[in-house]
Structure 1
């Protein structure tokens, strides 16, 4: 897979210092269907025509954070990036989470790609115990009464505790829950990386169709219909509407909980250059 333009580089001064303005790249054989490159004045909330801003503690995974509609937790940098920032105030952790109003269904008989450009704050990894940033997809049916994991979930990128390991995972009723079916990849550093998932539905046999995870064009995980082994479940992951989620969780069953060294703020943030949906 080759891309013909990678970024619109623009040096600007954002609220956390110098940042880069990213534009979704162009890829041979794909057309850009939808994207958000997070334009906006520094300190403003993301575009609410595109995103639902989630508030409260959602009561999942034994997480600690209270999501807030507050530019301190969720803001445009002024340099065409979105910054999701955890903070500890007293004994309460706050953070940010957005869910796209936009939904898409992978293209039958073709290829579909979802991608984001993401980096992490500059704090030392030892200060990130309990932090859990993620870029992922949920089946839109969860908004209409279907429970989890029957709705389907595809985690394009998760990391925990600041560790330079990226995880990609599928969750479904045939995905060895609660662990799911996943793979991992070493992350070179805390700078921007491209995280992508590709549905290849060009084969008419559902067993031969695939979902593949990439970091910077490097494949690190793949599932096929044959691996899932259930056509109805496979259809949930490949033939039903999905929506994007970006969030920074704090604590929970997987990463564990912050310790005395954990620091919130911009040094611990998740910064997103763009989110994009492509199709052949």
Structure 2
């Protein structure tokens, strides 16, 4: 008969119970790894073409971004409210397209291997050049003294070459044109052309007629002048162009003349534009006008848009005349070649009319002249 070792049996039972499964038993899970948090996030932004003269860039709108961070495995770049864009190496280029000078926010996110992230942002100001016509020539009249001789020269006298009274450039005008500072100068950011009553070279009035002939000539584009006009009965200011081939045997009107702005002091406020071609010149039928208030006391922008088949004339953006002949040939359209710019104040003559007996002096002030293509 076997004898039981009760102590051994009891120990065995306890051992089996401790190894059996249950709600409080089982194998413990391995410990989880700790979260990795990126640190030391830096963002540098280069605006392409930025320098001392162009602090907001060269007009391309492009920026170059570089981000660095400790424990980062990738980066996300966000430009304003646009969707985030990923970069594995922290480098990203972006191009803005809104024209002009504008401010933007650039945000970068640094992500770790465990998906944790931190972010920083920067404010930048970027210049984007206009995709439209570009400024190709201008005079802003920002240097006091005589007008820039690299841009302007003058018609002097009365047009006859001999200073004979009554020649009047073919329009019976009463002034004698000079390049004296009494008649033309740049002062306080303005070109000032002064028409004066004075005895000079057999004439009773002096003025200035300046031009860009042989210095700047162009075909097609937009040209504008910002000016405050002179006042007084008999005054006749003009902003206009002539064909550059006028002195090459072509002559007038075959060279073509474009009167962008003409104003008559005896009809103050009426701005007229006109075309002179072999088909219609002198008292041409090709003209248009509009009435503009305060032209002698405030600045307005007088403009021409010249394309391959039409001319559009405006004041402050308000169009008053379009020249677009149905048949375009040398008689109606000698405007497929260079023209040069003229600015002057005439006195009296065929368009200026009767001169006010009390007239003494008046000045046309010009803020700028600009040409775009």
TM class by shorter-chain length? Answer: 0.7 to 0.9
Deviation string, structure 1 residues 202-248 (Cα, Å, up to 9, x no partner): xxxxxxx321101001000001131xx342234412x1110000001
For the 8 Å contact 1:166–1:185, the answer to whether it is kept is yes
User: 1:211–1:52: structure 2 CA closer, same or farther, 3 Å change rule?
Assistant: same
1:114 corresponds, among 220, 223, 244, to 223
Unaligned runs of 5+ in 1: 6-25, 107-111, 202-208
Moved over 4 A (4+): none
Aligned to 1:93: 205
Provide the secondary structure at the position in 2 that maps to 1:29: coil
Aligned to 1:36: 139
Aligned to 1:275: 369
For the 8 Å contact 2:275–2:281, the answer to whether it is kept is no
Provide the secondary structure at the position in 1 that maps to 2:334: helix
Unaligned runs of 5+ in 2: 1-98, 102-128, 160-166
User: 1:4–1:263: structure 2 CA closer, same or farther, 3 Å change rule?
Assistant: farther
Q: TM-score, normalised by structure 1?
A: 0.77
Q: 1:174, CA displacement in angstroms?
A: 1.4
For the 8 Å contact 1:210–1:223, the answer to whether it is kept is yes
Provide the secondary structure at the position in 2 that maps to 1:232: coil
1:73 corresponds, among 170, 183, 196, to 183
- Verify: 1:213 aligned to 2:313, yes or no: yes
Aligned to 2:288: 183
Q: TM-score, normalised by structure 2?
A: 0.59
For the 8 Å contact 2:243–2:339, the answer to whether it is kept is yes
Number of residue pairs aligned between Structure 1 and Structure 2: 231
- Superposition RMSD in Å: 2.0
- What is the correspondence of 1:1-280 to structure 2 with a 5 Å cutoff? 29-41=132-144, 44-58=145-159, 59=167, 60=169, 61-77=171-187, 79-90=188-199, 92-100=204-212, 101-106=215-220, 112-121=221-230, 128-161=232-265, 163-175=268-280, 177-189=282-294, 190=296, 191-201=298-308, 209-226=309-326, 229-237=327-335, 239-264=336-361, 268-279=362-373
Shifted more, 174-183 versus 28-37: the winner is: 174-183
For the 8 Å contact 2:197–2:359, the answer to whether it is kept is no
Provide the secondary structure at the position in 2 that maps to 1:50: coil
Whole-Å Cα distance in 1 between the matches of residues 270 and 359 of structure 2?
18
Whole-Å Cα distance in 2 between the matches of residues 50 and 84 of structure 1?
16
